Structure 1
Amino acid sequence: MHSNATIPSGAVTAHCLRLKPGDELMSSLKRAASTILGGSATEPCGSAFVITAVGSLQDVALRLANASRMDGDRNNDGNDIRRYRNRRFEIVSLTGTFGRYNGCHVHISLADAEGKTLGGI
């Protein structure tokens, strides 16, 4: 079998991050990625990724698929930013990438008290 896929090489360094109740998830992840990646162009790696996460959140804001705005207004497809205030959610899945210069792309799935899941960016 012949494959054109590039096989990754090199070591992967893992970092653990523990947030405290009340810590804001995205700003904490961005700050951690910035610290890990440093700002030096001489570093061999320019990105980081989330392997896994567990925990709970409340006061959640999710950008739904195809949402074009971040201010809560609906776009032409009816998708928007959904806010859930004072509701507790368990993190079911969190995955994403972070670039050296504050770029990020993160997806999350959450479960509510009834076990219903929702997700977004």
Structure 2
Amino acid sequence: MSFLPLHLQPGVDLRRALETPMAEQGCEATFIVSGIGSLDQARLRLAGAAEELELNGALEVLTLAGSVAMNGSHLHASLANAQGRVLGGHLYYGCRVRTTAEVLLALLPDWHFRRECDAATGYGELAPRRREGLPG
């Protein structure tokens, strides 16, 4: 396992910026260890909701966590607005960094992550596998 700290600039799509290093590093499995920063636009899907919610204005990223697979990500965030109200949910594309985002990625070069349909949940769930030719 190796760690990759990211400092993301204003205007960057947060989710895309988290998925890009995998390809650049030749890694097929990544976890977001920690993330903080600010957004001026966010798209979240709240628990049990069918559609996503778009938020605009100054937002603080309080927590950011998840996994990044070759065929999709599963990311959660909690965000606070200017009044201190907190919302959390699944992070979608279209979350734009306002001033900065600081994220620590854990790259797992011995693993291959894919999302596969799970009959029990009906969702694409994480299917972690050790890369071929590696012990264990």
TM (norm. structure 1) is 0.68
Match of 1:25 in 2: 14
Residue segments in structure 2 that go unaligned for 5+ positions in a row: 91-136
Counterpart pick for 2:67 among 97, 109, 114: 97
Residue segments in structure 1 that go unaligned for 5+ positions in a row: 1-11, 40-45, 69-79
> How large is the Cα RMSD of the aligned pairs?
1.5
Matched, 1:67 2:49: yes
Larger radius of gyration: 1
> How many correspondences in the alignment?
90
Percent of pairs with identical residues: 34
More strand by share: 2
Distance 1:64 1:34 in 2: 29
Matched, 1:55 2:26: no
TM (norm. structure 2) is 0.61
Give the structure, 1 or 2, with the largest relative contact order (CA under 8 Å, sep 6 or more).
Answer: 2
Amino acid at match of 2:9: K
